[in-house]
């Protein structure tokens, strides 16, 4: 396959965003059509690349023909293509829910969404740390505008908090990259993988310091405790469709940490650097899962409940990276896909059940009180009468709850089982992570049952008008999760091959540095 195809997922949304800006307010329909064509094209590129790398091939595109150590290089392997496909599927699934609302006068959401897709795809495809920073800043700049769309007081407060945290993360990114470049003289990831074992003992501490600072920057984006306190509030304040797209943006940090931990600090990094930072990821991920559960049990807004589900997902993935075994990584990738789709659907459901158009008045849930359950003993247990559209939302809520809690027989259970099974007996830290992920499933059941009873059973919740487009997006996302339940075998084989490829980085290095 022509390696020039690697530029498509970056250039297509860039061109679409530029044309949408040129069309302006007068041709909003044409701008929406461009957005649709861009998302369909991104899915096409992702599927074409999936076919190309499915046999283990690593595609490399050296822009301008420059050597990889000095020029811009794009690299596609199984992991990067998996993230491209997940991003394209999520963007396409969200289109029915956002097109009508994004065609309003004065909305710049469509070009911002395309710039966000460009930054995401570039982050997954780049082969060097400098361009990773460039694409990282592109997606962050777009996310600032998306998070502050139609601002109210709470949205501005949460948005400015989000911007400040991410600007600090960008500063740490630059400091870490500068230290790594000062020690090795390159930022190409394949070249770094070759040089890390050769770094002199007197400068290895500086290399580790740079890698640690760089890791902190991405741990902020991945929302590891205590660096992720900003996420539930910021995501809950954002428009539901934006928060749904942010569900995959959080996985950029997870992707980079997984890529660098196995490429630069894997078994071939030498005794002094192999496994660097693994214990921090393991125990930090476990702490993030624990805090996510506590947050879910105490959440009184649907948006924040979804945000704490993101923390549980992120913590589970970070802990799995810290364990580092191929079987654990394969299960973690399955969990990454299902949890991203399910959390995105739940953000949309939260927007349908408790809209915050002005970001000021938000319906609140009753606080969690286990002793208060006795109050239901003498109540009439007859079911309230719900209109058909609300019953549809209730069904979607039930499916999303099963997926997020990891209960059988849906793909959430299959993915969580694939993650948990290899954790058993993998060491004390892995055992703690195992127990916390199981406890997180129980906590999710409790939190989601409490919410479901208050909204759909007690009969006192005021339901807003149901938007057909948003319901369609929810149905697509949950339908994809159900499809993964039925067709789990082939995706799981791909993910196992992806984990094996990550643990054997020599082929990646040879492809980039022939």
Say which range, 113-117, 192-196, 414-418, 454-458, has the weakest mean pLDDT.
454-458
Q: CA dist 314 to 19, 40, 95, 514, Å?
A: 35, 28, 25, 35
SS3 per residue for 36-76: HHHHHHHHHHHHHHHHHHCCCCCEEEEHHHCCCCCCCEEEE
Alpha carbons within 13 angstroms on the beta-carbon side of residue 255 total 26
CA nearest to 335, candidates 348, 349, 346, 321: 321
The pLDDT score that the predictor gives to residue 5 is 87
Say which range, 103-112, 282-291, 406-415, has the weakest mean pLDDT.
103-112
Q: Cβ distance 96 to 155 under 8 Å? A: no
Give this prediction's pTM.
0.90
Q: Cβ distance 480 to 338 under 8 Å? A: no
CA dist 239 and 243 (Å) reads: 6
Burial 70-86 (b: 16+ CB within 10 A, else e): eebbbbbbbbbbbbbbb
Alpha carbons within 13 angstroms on the beta-carbon side of residue 169 total 24
Which tokens go with 340?
């991203």
Q: Using 50, 70 and 90 to split pLDDT, how confident is the model at 197?
A: confident
Which residue, chain included where needed, has tokens 């007996």?
Answer: 425
CA dist 2 and 5 (Å) reads: 6
Q: Cβ distance 52 to 76 under 8 Å? A: yes
What mean pLDDT comes out for the span 159-165? 85
What mean pLDDT comes out for the span 300-305? 85
Residue with the bigger pLDDT between 22 and 270: it is 22
CA dist 453 and 313 (Å) reads: 24
How many residues appear in the chain?
Answer: 514
The pLDDT score that the predictor gives to residue 196 is 87
The pLDDT score that the predictor gives to residue 426 is 77
Tens digit of pLDDT for each residue in 455-513?
Answer: 877 666 677 777 777 888 899 999 999 999 998 888 999 999 999 999 989 889 998 88
Which tokens go with 110?
């469509």
Q: CA dist 44 to 17, 50, 116, 479, Å?
A: 18, 10, 18, 20
Q: Cβ distance 58 to 189 under 8 Å? A: no
CA nearest to 350, candidates 249, 443, 473: 473
Which tokens go with 50?
């999936």
Is the peptide bond between 98 and the residue preceding it cis, with omega within 30 degrees of 0?
Answer: no
What percent of the chain has pLDDT above 70? 90
Say which range, 79-83, 164-168, 383-387, has the weakest mean pLDDT.
383-387
Tens digit of pLDDT for each residue in 15-66?
Answer: 999 988 888 767 777 888 888 899 999 999 999 999 999 888 889 998 877 7
Q: Cβ distance 221 to 252 under 8 Å? A: yes
Strands 73-76 and 59-62: antiparallel
Tens digit of pLDDT for each residue in 54-98?
Answer: 888 889 998 877 777 778 899 999 999 999 999 999 999 988 877
Residue 76 region by backbone torsions, left for phi larger than 0, else alpha for psi between -120 and 50, else beta = beta
CA dist 226 and 340 (Å) reads: 22
Say which range, 286-295, 353-362, 430-439, has the weakest mean pLDDT.
353-362
Which tokens go with 283?
């125990």
CA nearest to 419, candidates 315, 309, 316, 332: 332
The pLDDT score that the predictor gives to residue 315 is 93
Residue with the bigger pLDDT between 149 and 144: it is 144
- Average pLDDT of the chain? 85
Q: Using 50, 70 and 90 to split pLDDT, how confident is the model at 235?
A: confident
Q: Cβ distance 85 to 34 under 8 Å? A: no
Give the list of residues 6+ apart from residue 381 with CB closer than 8 angstroms, or none: none
382 pLDDT more than 60: no
Q: How many CB atoms lie within 10 A of CB 43?
A: 18
CA dist 510 and 514 (Å) reads: 5
- The alpha carbon of residue 318 and the mean position of all alpha carbons in its chain are separated, in whole angstroms, by 12
Helix (H), strand (E) at residue 484: helix 468-486
Residue 226's Cβ-count burial label (10 Å; 0-12, 13-18, 19+) is exposed
- The alpha carbon of residue 56 and the mean position of all alpha carbons in its chain are separated, in whole angstroms, by 24
CA dist 16 and 334 (Å) reads: 31
CA nearest to 72, candidates 57, 84, 60, 81: 60
Q: Cβ distance 165 to 230 under 8 Å? A: yes
The pLDDT score that the predictor gives to residue 360 is 47
CA nearest to 258, candidates 124, 373, 449, 395: 124
């Amino acid at each position: 396959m022509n390696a020039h195809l690697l530029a498509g997922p970056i250039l297509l949304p860039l061109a679409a965003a530029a044309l949408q800006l040129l069309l302006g307010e007068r041709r909003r329909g044409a701008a929406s059509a461009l957005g649709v064509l861009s998302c369909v094209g991104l899915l096409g590129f992702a599927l074409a690349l999936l076919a190309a790398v499915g046999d283990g091939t690593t595609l490399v595109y050296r822009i301008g023909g420059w050597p990889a150590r000095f020029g811009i290089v794009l690299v596609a392997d199984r992991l990067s293509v998996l993230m491209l496909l997940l991003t394209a599927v999520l963007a396409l699934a969200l289109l029915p829910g956002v097109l009508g609302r994004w065609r309003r006068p004065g909305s710049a959401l469509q070009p911002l969404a395309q710039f966000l897709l460009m930054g995401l795809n570039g982050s997954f495809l780049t082969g060097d740390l400098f361009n990773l920073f460039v694409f990282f800043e592109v997606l962050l700049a777009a996310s600032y505008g998306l998070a502050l769309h139609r601002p109210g007081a709470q949205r501005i407060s949460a948005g400015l908090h989000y911007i400040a945290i991410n600007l600090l993360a960008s500063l740490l990114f630059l400091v870490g990259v500068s230290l790594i470049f000062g020690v090795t003289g390159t930022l190409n990831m394949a070249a770094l993988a070759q040089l890390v074992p050769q770094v002199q003992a007197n400068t290895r501490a500086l290399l580790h310091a740079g890698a640690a600072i760089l890791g902190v920057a991405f741990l902020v984006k991945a929302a590891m405790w205590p660096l992720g306190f900003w996420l539930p509030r910021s995501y809950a304040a954002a428009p539901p469709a934006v928060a749904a797209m942010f569900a995959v943006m959080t996985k950029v940090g997870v992707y980079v940490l997984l890529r660098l931990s196995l490429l630069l600090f894997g078994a071939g990094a030498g005794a002094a650097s192999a496994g660097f930072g693994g214990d921090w990821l393991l125990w930090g991920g476990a702490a993030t899962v624990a805090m996510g559960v506590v947050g879910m049990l105490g959440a009184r807004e649907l948006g924040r409940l979804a945000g704490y589900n993101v923390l549980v997902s992120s913590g589970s993935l970070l802990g799995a990276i810290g364990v580092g075994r191929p079987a654990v990584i394969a299960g973690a990738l399955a969990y990454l896909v299902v949890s991203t789709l399910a959390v995105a659907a739940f953000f949309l459901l939260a927007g349908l059940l408790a809209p915050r158009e002005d970001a000021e008045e938000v319906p609140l849930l009753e606080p969690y009180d286990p002793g208060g359950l006795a109050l239901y003993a003498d109540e009439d247990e007859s079911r309230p009468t719900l209109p058909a559209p609300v019953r549809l939302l209730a069904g979607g809520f039930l499916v999303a709850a099963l997926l997020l809690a990891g209960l059988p027989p849906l793909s959430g259970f299959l993915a969580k089982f694939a993650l948990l099974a290899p954790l058993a007996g993998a060491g004390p830290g892995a055992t703690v992570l195992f127990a916390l992920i199981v406890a997180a499933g129980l906590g999710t059941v409790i939190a989601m049952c409490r919410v479901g009873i208050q909204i759909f059973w007690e009969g006192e919740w005021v339901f807003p008008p149901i938007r057909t487009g948003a319901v369609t997006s929810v149905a697509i996302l949950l339908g994809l999760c159900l499809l993964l339940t039925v067709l789990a075998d082939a995706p799981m084989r791909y993910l196992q091959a992806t984990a094996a490829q990550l643990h054997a980085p020599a082929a990646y290095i040879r492809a980039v540095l022939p």
